[in-house]
Structure 1
């Protein structure tokens, strides 16, 4: 005799159940969807709201297995649009493989490799032909697909689309109706055609409601920015550029973004440096509060602006004097700096204390420490290699749409999620923790732990990555790391994240009285008497 169903709605409203399920993994959602009709109705939209097909990953490994993975992807793409679940999809990520067909010479020994290529083409065609039916789609990430006129028209037809990312896409449809988006990201489009397209406009996105713009790579960076000249970005708050090729063009663009708050710039090209000013008028992007850029650009844009978060991009090694001068320039902001990330440095005791005094309200500090590189091992290369002669492969995969999901690999259907208890290690704090033989990282840690350097009192995040990560001399043993974590926890009660070099996985995070290294199951517990 079956038991009566559990009245889940009487226990909690469906909104509460839904909030709980949003924290679950896909495997957990699949299990929950089998509990009852109520749970299924709540879990299915969560399961289908995010769709992803990565043809590069599907094609890896044995080619027969790759054919079956691509086949299942094609069947799923063709089938999902025929039912009500297409309305549940909110996000799509599709990764094509532009280099796949050019690699045919490596598969000449496979008699039936044409089936593999045909299945790949079927997946791409299925995605392109059905994309327009996802009328509730809000986010779209496309990698290595050509943006021709029909595909651009499809994008325009998705009226609820807010977020688009294009990666390594050849954009042939360069004008027409503009996409009305909140976020647009473009990387590596245009390829090697930068010289051909430097004067050509790329009109793709309307600036009307755009809030986030990210442009990485070469080919289409200048055409896109040139296409934006003369238009106002009244809502743009986040701008990210991989490289500034033309500083005058960049500066004109900034004047069009009065509400810009976050700016990220990877590099300044030689042409950009030629016209680089020492400062930019404060009325340009007056609301800037976060900057991630090379030091010259940081110095030009931080004065008299409410910049709270500063990341100085990797450049040349900063001496102690240059570190102090950079800190002095950055401190000219109009509000207290809360987060500071510096590139490769060689600090002294005085420069560290000067920096701490300039930023007394700092809560996050990341400083890359320069150490002498260690010896690298040379690999012996055998120049006399026999030519590779693979055996002829005459296998023929059996593909049938009706049975595409009949024999799934175990890893695709397994719901197993093992959770092992984490052992605790109790640490006793030493009065004066001793460091290994002194290199710069160890010396700095000794200064801090012994009170010679006084960090800002409310520091929460402290990172000391090491530039010369091949140097074995920067390794801190597990015991030394425990002592540093214990000492700093006592000195800085707000500290919750700590990074100590590169080696031995030295990235620690705090949860209450417990500290845990990333990727390690055990944690250390510091007794309350040590941190009071």
Structure 2
């Protein structure tokens, strides 16, 4: 006797189920879709809304070209079936990463017969053709990320034809189609573009309309100048976020800022060849609230603007005097600064207390600590087998010839999937927390400046802003080992700061390979390590 079906819809409205499942992983959604027809109807749009094909990942097995061919085949069949079926309207986001060396990667590790090379080339071409020829059918597509692709006129026309497209990211793409109908987007990102003709790469690039654009990110000389020239003197009435990897022409950059009256978030690098003038018109980008830039540009744009979040880019060191002057300028923002990231510095007790007094509302502080510890010692390592005792690599040998022929029948493409592609294995449960008792006067080493700074803070000699939530002290040091803290000292720092600053939820102390701790409720977890501690107050 079959059991009656469970009335899930009567238990909760479908909107409640859907709200819960938006937090599920793809593996969890696959399992839920097998429960009943209702669950399937709710889960399938979530499963199909994001599509991704990364050809480099498809050829990740260097010693098994047969597996690589099968992965490429399944990707091509999936592309064709989705585009030909009703679920094409469920897709909202596409990420497609091609690769110019795809054929050689697919066959990597074997001396393959010409027939195999031809099969690999055919399958690679089929994947790329399937994507480019079917992209126009995704009429509900909102976000598109394309890597290592050719943006010619037909493909550009396809992009313009997508009515709901709002976000486009192009990386390592060739763009011979320099003009034509413009993409009407809210967000556009372009990095490391290439052009087969050098003269063409220096021409202006007219690709995106400034009318609706809210976020713009450009990386590289071949991207920044042609695109800015293509924009001309047009205004960006809705642009609120701008990111430039490098300022190659400071005058062009300042003129561009005047075209963005509503800009709120600015990230701009510097190539070191341009003199960053401190003269910026006071009415330029008056709504700026977040800046990530070299120190001179930060000092020029932060005063008298509502800047709350400041990142001073690294690449140089600040003396104690420069450190004080920098924080004085930053403190002249028209609103209290809440997040501050500073480059390499050698802080003193006085400069740290000055900074704390200038930013009483600070919730996030990141400051790279410079530790002077002598000079590098270079040691020549002998590679001669006679002195090292190790034998030389064997002479080159003809690689193995693999003459197998993979079965690439479309009808059975998904009949025998590898275990790793259908596994539902979940993450391991966390290990029990270690309880750490709070010491009244925790003892800290003071062998380098990082240890000294932590000792000042833990002992109360430096009083940080009361509502601090994020505290990062990465270290620049010639000898990173000497900046490391023992596990016991790490625990004591966490215990002391947890008591002094109840809002603290993230702590980094030391070299970039050293601990980065995050708090979740009553537990602190070291990032990348499955271990927890709990502070006993």
Calculate the TM-score normalised by the size of structure 1: 0.94
Post-superposition offset of 1:106:
6.5
Match of 2:277 in 1: 277
Partners of 1:194 and 1:220 within 8 A in 2:
no
Could you list the per-position Cα deviations for residues 134-175 of structure 1 after superposition, in whole angstroms to 9, with x for gaps in the alignment?
Answer: 000000000000100000000011010000000000101110
Residues 193 and 219, structure 1, Cα contact 8 Å, conserved in 2? no
Matched residue count: 524
- For 1:512-531, what aligned pairs fall within 5 Å after superposition? 512-527=521-536, 530=537
1:390 aligned residue: 399
Equivalent residue for 2:224, pick from 221, 224, 234:
221
Single out whichever of 513-522 and 238-247 deviates more from structure 2: 513-522
Moved more, 411-420 or 133-142: 411-420
Unaligned runs of 5+ residues in structure 2 are 386-391
Alpha-carbon deviation of 1:378? 6.5
Query: CA RMSD of the aligned region, Å?
Result: 2.1
Query: How big is each residue's C-alpha offset from its partner over 1:334-362, in whole Å with a ceiling of 9 and x where there is no partner?
Result: 11110000111111111111111111111
Moved more, 366-375 or 441-450: 366-375
1:49-106 Cα shifts (integer Å, max 9, x gaps): 0000000110121211110000000000011111110000000000000233577997
> How far apart in 2 are the matches of 1:388 and 1:303?
67
The answer as to 2:359 corresponding to 1:359 is yes
Check whether the contact 2:107–2:117 (CA below 8 A) recurs between aligned residues: no
Would you say the 8 A contact 1:163–1:184 is kept in 2? yes
Distance in 2, matches of 1:241 and 1:489, equals 38
Structure 1 unmatched runs, 5+: none
> Aligned with 1:370: secondary structure?
strand
Q: Residue 505 of structure 1 contacts residue 518 of structure 1 at CA under 8 Å; is this kept in 2?
A: no
Aligned pairs for 1:67-466 (under 5 A) are: 67-100=69-102, 109-111=111-113, 112-190=116-194, 197-198=201-202, 200-270=203-273, 272-273=274-275, 276-372=276-372, 381=383, 385=393, 386-387=395-396, 389-466=398-475
* CA distance, structure 1, for counterparts of residue 157 and residue 429 of structure 2: 51
How far apart, in 2, do the equivalents of 1:36 and 1:505 lie?
48
Distance in 1 of aligned mates of 2:319 and 2:196? 37
Matches of 1:106 and 1:228 in 2, distance apart? 44
Is the Cα contact below 8 Å between 2:469 and 2:505 reproduced in 1? yes
Q: 1:491: which partner in 2?
A: 500
How far apart, CA to CA, are the structure 2 residues paired with 1:59 and 1:103? 6
Is contact 2:176-2:200 (8 Å) kept?
no
Equivalent residue number for residue 480 of structure 1: 489
Secondary structure of 2:477's counterpart equals coil
CA contact (8 A) 2:526 2:532 kept: yes
Task: Return closer, same or farther for 1:298/1:435 CA change in 2, 3 Å cut-off.
Answer: same
Q: In the alignment, is the contact (CA less than 8 A) between 1:344 and 1:370 conserved in 2?
A: yes
Deviation at 1:414, TM superposition (A): 1.2
Q: 1:493 to 1:148 in 2, by over 3 A?
A: same
